[in-house]
Structure 1
Amino acid sequence: MRARDKGVAHDRWDGAGPGAPGSTEPTRCAPDWLALREPADAAARAPELLTPLRRWLTGRPAPLVVRDIGSGTGSMGRWLAPRLGVPQHWVLHDRDPALLVRASVRGATFETRCGELAGLDLTGTSLLTASALLDLLTPSDVDIIADACAAAGCAALLTLSVAGRVELTPADPLDADLAAAFNAHQQRGALLGPDAVAVATWAFERRGATVHRAPSPWRLGPDQRELTEQWLRGWVAAARLQEPWLDTEAYTRRRLAACAAGELEVVVHHTDLLAIGAR
Structure 2
Amino acid sequence: MLDRHLRLSGSEDLSRTLLGEAKYHEPDKRCAFGLSESSAKSQFVDWGDLKWAPEGYMALKAAVAKMFESEVASLCSAEQGSRDLLGVKLRLGWEKWGRSGLRHCVYPAEGTCSSHTDYGVVTLQFSNGPGLEVFAHGSWQVLEEPPEGGALLFAGDMLERMTNGQIKALPHRVHVQTDSLEAQSDPGKRGVRQSHILFLQPDSDTWVAPLRPYLLNNGNDLDPIRYGDWHQMKVNLAFDGLLGREESDIVAQRVRLVCSFTQGGDGDSTSGQEDRVRLQNRSLVCFIQLSLPLDGRNGP
Fold shared, TM-score > 0.5 on shorter chain: no
Considering fraction of residues, name the structure with more helix. 1
Which structure has more RCO (C-alpha within 8 Å, separation ≥ 6)?
2
Query: Normalized against structure 2, the TM-score is what?
Result: 0.28
Query: What is the TM-score with the length of structure 1 in the denominator?
Result: 0.29
